[in-house]
């Protein structure tokens, strides 16, 4: 008996769909693209492990954390943000997330910094976004302006080379100033003179997980200097002489190296050998500093002051595009006890496209950047496996 043509077509379509279905089941999972500059493997991501709060002493919210002078339990700390008036909406989004997940319980003050005065609208809307105190600070010109020893002609020539190497923001002098300020000047602002701990927040970032303890007290009570969520590789051609300058500095001051430093982490050449080569000995792995929880006493130490001044005089904040993230990371990796650096695995955080998404029922709506081939690309840029390898899970 002949089968009608439409029925044959339907049968064929059904077979094709079945084959496609089988393929989706058996096809290989996402794998990291191999390239000359990546020798990594798909390590098991510790974010997949159930993650609760850190061990050690934790202090919970209590009456002592009420807003204003009733907040007797708060320690000497502030949330801080360098931000432009035009970034108000993004700042409000970051504030909403951090207030919802953490600060509405602890009411730490927000300190905003700007190189121009904040607008009334900025002040009014950010004040309305928190019960905590808000402070608005102008950066002194001598902290923001290009220092006298930087040559304008040499800067312009250097920008051309950076642009040939496709370094983003090379021609934006404000970006260079911002990186320098975040590296070695923010903690010298008079408004922070009596403040010790800070949590750095940028506009347009996301926080996903409820945090039920005072993170500043955690830092203090557990003797931690610095906390991070994400580590990434940097563009090596933005920092070709940062490591050589650092090597010169160490040669002048070998006594500054901490006996329990993270030199092996900083100089890893196995995972991304080309990065290490182009950065002249530095892996380029850095704590992603748009999130930082830190103890400013470290930045205020003589060691860091000397290191920053050495780098500042060398000119790379302008003639190259040294970021505050590699500068902070190298200083911490060399001059601090590595056991005092803490991975906040429980703080869900994202600055697009990178994220820290803990596996915990305290986290909601973590955006894991799943775009085309996203996982492989993100894994390649993420150097946390190296931190875990050389230093541990903290
Ligand atoms: N007030 C002010 N803030 C700036 C300036 N440049 C950058 N920032 C802030 O510095 C942070 C980092 O800048 P961003 O442009 O996000 O750099 P990216 O994250 O490296 O792409 C953000 O919080 C910005 O709001 C500036 O010229 N003035
Ligand atoms: Mg940013």
Residue 14 has a pLDDT of 62
How far apart (Å, rounded) are the C-alpha atoms in residues 292 and 369? 21
Residue 353 preceded by cis peptide, ω within 30: yes
- Look at residue 29 in the predicted model and tell me its pLDDT: 36
Query: Is residue 347 very low, low, confident or very high in pLDDT (cuts 50, 70, 90)?
Result: very high
Report the atom number in ligand 1 closest to the C-alpha of 202.
23
| Ligand 1 binding pocket mutation candidate from 114, 126, 178, 351 (most atoms within 8 A of CB) | 178
Distance CA 377, CA 33 (A): 8
pLDDT digits (tens, 9 = 90+) for 318-343: 999 999 999 999 999 999 999 999 99
CA 266/CA 258 separation, integer angstroms: 14
The mean per-residue pLDDT over the stretch 68-88 comes to 97
- Which residues are annotated as catalytic? 292
Query: In b/e form, how buried is each residue of 127-148, taking b as 16+ CB within 10 angstroms?
Result: eebbebebebbebeeebbeeee
Sign of the torsion formed by the C-alpha atoms of 102, 106, 107 and 113:
negative
**Whole-structure pTM over 0.85, yes or no?**
yes
At residue 355, the pLDDT reads 86
φ/ψ of 354, rounded to 5, equals: -90, 150
| Confidence grade of residue 380 (pLDDT, cut at 50, 70, 90) | confident
Mean pLDDT of all residues in 169-197: 98
pLDDT value of residue 24: 37
Token representation of residue 325: 């993230």
Question: Is any ligand 1 atom within 6 A of the Cβ of residue 88?
Answer: no
Mutate which of 80, 81, 82, 198 for ligand 1? The one with the most ligand atoms within 8 Å of its CB, which is 82
Q: How far is 75 from 322, CA to CA, in rounded Å?
A: 33
The response to whether residue 83 sits with its C-beta less than 6 Å from ligand 1 reads yes
Atom index in ligand 1 nearest the CA of residue 83 equals 25
Rg of the chain over CA atoms, in angstroms? 24
Q: Closest by alpha carbon to 13, among 5, 201, 343, 219? A: 5
Burial class (CB within 10 angstroms; exposed 0-12, middle 13-18, buried 19+) of 317: buried
Nearest CA to ligand 1 atom 17: 175
pLDDT tens-digit map of 242-297: 999 999 999 999 999 999 999 999 999 999 999 999 999 999 999 999 999 999 99
pLDDT at 44: 61
For ligand 1, atom 27, which residue shows the shortest CA distance?
174
From residue 72, alpha-carbon distances to 75, 196, 294 in Å are: 8, 16, 21
Measured in Å, residue 55 CA sits from the centre of ligand 2 at 31
Task: Tell me the ligand closest to 81's alpha carbon.
Answer: 1
Q: Cβ(272)–Cβ(283) under 8 Å? A: yes
Q: What is the pLDDT of residue 354?
A: 87
Whole-number pLDDT of residue 16? 63
pLDDT band at 3 (very low <50, low <70, confident <90, very high): low
Q: DSSP string covering 165-192, please?
A: TT-TTTT-HHHHHHHHHHHHTGGGSGGG
Q: For residue 394, what pLDDT is reported?
A: 67
CA distance 274 to 144: 34
Q: Of the ranges 22-36, 44-58, 90-104, 348-362, which one carries the lowest mean pLDDT score?
A: 22-36
- pLDDT tens digits along 300-317: 999 999 999 999 999 999
* 323 C-beta closer than 6 A to ligand 1: no
Nearest 5 degrees, angle CA 169-CA 118-CA 68?
A: 120
Is the distance from the beta carbon of residue 84 to the nearest atom of ligand 1 less than 6 Å? Answer: yes
Percent of the chain topping pLDDT 70: 86
Q: What pLDDT score was predicted for residue 120?
A: 98
Beta bridge partners of 111: 80, 135
Mean predicted confidence (pLDDT) in 349-365? 89
Residue with the two structure tokens 């000397």: 306
Domains of the chain: 31-54+149-184+230-286+298-339+365-394 (3.90.550.10)
Alpha-carbon distance 140 to 143, whole Å? Answer: 5
219: Cβ below 6 Å to ligand 1?
no
Q: State how far the Cα of 321 lies from the Cα of 54, in Å rounded to an integer.
A: 35
Q: What is the pLDDT of residues 7-38, one digit of tens each?
A: 676 666 666 656 554 443 334 333 333 455 66
SS3 119: coil
How far does the centroid of ligand 2 lie from the alpha carbon of residue 145, in Å? 21
If you average pLDDT over every residue of the chain, what do you get? 90
């Amino acid at each position: 008996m002949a089968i009608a043509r439409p029925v044959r077509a339907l049968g064929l379509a059904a077979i094709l769909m079945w084959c496609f279905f089988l393929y989706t089941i058996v096809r290989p999972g996402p794998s990291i693209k191999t390239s000359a500059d990546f020798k990594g493997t798909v390590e098991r991501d510790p974010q997949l492990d159930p993650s609760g709060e850190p061990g050690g002493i934790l202090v919970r919210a209590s009456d002592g954390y009420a807003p204003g002078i009733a907040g007797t339990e708060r320690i000497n700390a502030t949330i801080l943000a360098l931000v432009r008036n035009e970034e108000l909406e993004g700042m409000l989004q970051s504030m909403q997330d951090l207030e919802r997940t953490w600060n509405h319980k602890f009411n730490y003050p927000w300190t905003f910094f700007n190189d121009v005065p904040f607008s009334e609208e900025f002040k009014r809307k950010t004040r309305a976004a928190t019960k905590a105190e808000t402070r608005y600070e102008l950066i002194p010109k001598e902290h923001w302006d290009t220092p006298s020893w930087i040559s304008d002609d040499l800067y312009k020539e250097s920008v051309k080379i950076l642009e040939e190497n496709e370094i983003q923001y090379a021609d934006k002098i404000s970006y260079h100033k911002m990186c320098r300020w975040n590296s070695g000047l923010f903690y010298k602002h008079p408004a922070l003179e009596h403040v010790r701990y800070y949590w750095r927040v940028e506009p347009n970032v996301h926080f996903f997980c409820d945090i039920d303890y005072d993170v500043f007290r955690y830092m203090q009570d557990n003797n931690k200097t610095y906390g991070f969520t994400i580590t990434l590789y940097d563009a090596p051609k933005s920092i070709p002489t940062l490591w050589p300058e650092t090597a010169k500095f160490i040669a002048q001051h070998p006594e500054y190296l901490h006996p329990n430093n993270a030199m092996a982490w900083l100089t890893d050449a196995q995972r991304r050998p080309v990065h290490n080569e182009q950065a002249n000995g530095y892996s380029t792995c850095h704590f992603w500093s748009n999130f930082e929880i830190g103890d400013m006493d470290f930045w205020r130490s003589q060691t860091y002051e000397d290191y920053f001044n050495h780098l500042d005089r060398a000119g790379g904040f302008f003639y190259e595009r040294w970021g505050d993230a590699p500068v902070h990371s190298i200083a911490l990796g060399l001059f601090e006890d590595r056991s005092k650096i803490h991975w906040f695995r429980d703080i869900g955080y994202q600055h697009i496209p990178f994220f820290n998404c803990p596996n915990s029922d305290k986290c909601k709506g973590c955006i894991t950047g799943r775009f085309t081939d996203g996982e492989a690309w993100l894994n390649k840029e993420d150097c946390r496996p190296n931190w875990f390898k050389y230093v541990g899970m903290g």
